[in-house]
Amino acid sequence: MLVTTRKMLDDARDGGYAIGAFNAENAEMVWAIVRAADELRAPVIIQTTSSTLKYFSPEMFAGMVKAEAQKTDVPVALHLDHGSSYELCCACIAAGYTSVMIDGSALPFEENIAVSKKVADYAKSFGVPVEAELGRVGGKEDDVVGVDDQYTDPKEAVEFVERTGVSSLAIGIGTAHGIYKVAPKLDLDRAADIRKVVSIPLVMHGASGLADEVMQEGVRKGIAKINFATELRVAFSEAVKAYLEKDPKVFDPKKYGTPAREAVKELVKQKMTVCGCNGKA
């Protein structure tokens, strides 16, 4: 069933686990994520980035996710990840997205507050929760580039949440988008400090490649949503490559799409178990 992220994230925050949020690039990945959630009885968030929505429209993704979500009774939300503008957030809400993120983290503090509040005020009339980001996540994901890691200040987080009215907050604790070449040095205690003074659910971006125990420690420190993107792309692509190597004359996309979606499904199930959201639907 298609729902917003509000209750699932509040329940995760209060229950001491995290919701896995998985970026989808096509129908196969949507299918895989929903099937994984159904098999593990886990609430789930399917995400698309601004860059992905240049490839397929918000309406197409909303249609695919709605169709698959109707086949299960586990909660499924469709979320805009790293929304690049107020206009894109509005377009996704109009298309049927049940959650959006406005990413103003590269802007000065006051400008980030202004755009985040503008989106939150608009989304409120539609009952759509809004995620924002304070502090920067390093690395690169599609069009999102973090030049330097910028840790979130707990005092600024309090002011930001109070003035914007957003529903969840992505924080900078040393994570980065993409696959890590070396293990990052994370400030998970900072997450705990922010959790003490901010009531809304906290989000960890840049989890692809993090050790399981690191993510679980983040959950213990107060993280209620963990994002996964690059690892899913790798799993999908590697499965396609393996099939084409075995059968280079294949021309039916369903042939190599089937093992690719199965690879994504198994990876999603593993990440859900790490997050602790399995069995929480």
Cα separation, 208 vs 222, whole angstroms: 19
Q: With the CA atoms of 103, 180, 280 and 193 taken in that order, what torsion angle do they form, in degrees rounded to the nearest 10?
A: -60
Please give the C-alpha separations between residue 253 and each of 243, 250, 257, in angstroms, as whole numbers: 11, 8, 6
Tokens 């998970």 correspond to what residue? 188
- In the chain, how long is the greatest CA-to-CA distance? 59
Q: Which of 11, 14, 73, 81 is catalytic?
A: 81
* 103 assigned ligand-binding residue: yes
Please give the C-alpha separations between residue 107 and each of 103, 141, 146, in angstroms, as whole numbers: 9, 18, 12
81 is catalytic: yes
* 183 assigned ligand-binding residue: no
Of 165, 161, 164, 168, the residue nearest 7 (C-alpha): 168
Element (H, E) at 144: strand 144-146
Cα separation, 53 vs 50, whole angstroms: 5
Which value, in Å, is the radius of gyration of the alpha carbons in the chain?
A: 18
* 79 assigned ligand-binding residue: no
Question: Can you list the alpha helix ranges (DSSP code H) found in 20-79?
Answer: 27-40, 52-55, 58-69
Inter-residue contact 81 to 116 (CB < 8 Å): no
Of 160, 155, 154, 110, the residue nearest 133 (C-alpha): 160
State the angle between helix axes of 86-95 and 58-69 in degrees (0 to 180), rounded to the nearest 10: 40
* 235 assigned ligand-binding residue: no
* 205 assigned ligand-binding residue: yes
* 206 assigned ligand-binding residue: yes
* 148 assigned ligand-binding residue: no
* 227 assigned ligand-binding residue: yes
* 105 assigned ligand-binding residue: no
Overall size of the chain counted in residues: 281
Inter-residue contact 60 to 96 (CB < 8 Å): no
Going by the annotation, the residues of the binding site are 82, 103, 133, 177-178, 205-208, 227-230
Active site residues: 81
Per the annotation, binding residues for dihydroxyacetone phosphate are 178, 206-208, 227-230
Instruction: Specify binding-site residues for Zn(2+).
Output: 82, 103, 133, 177, 205
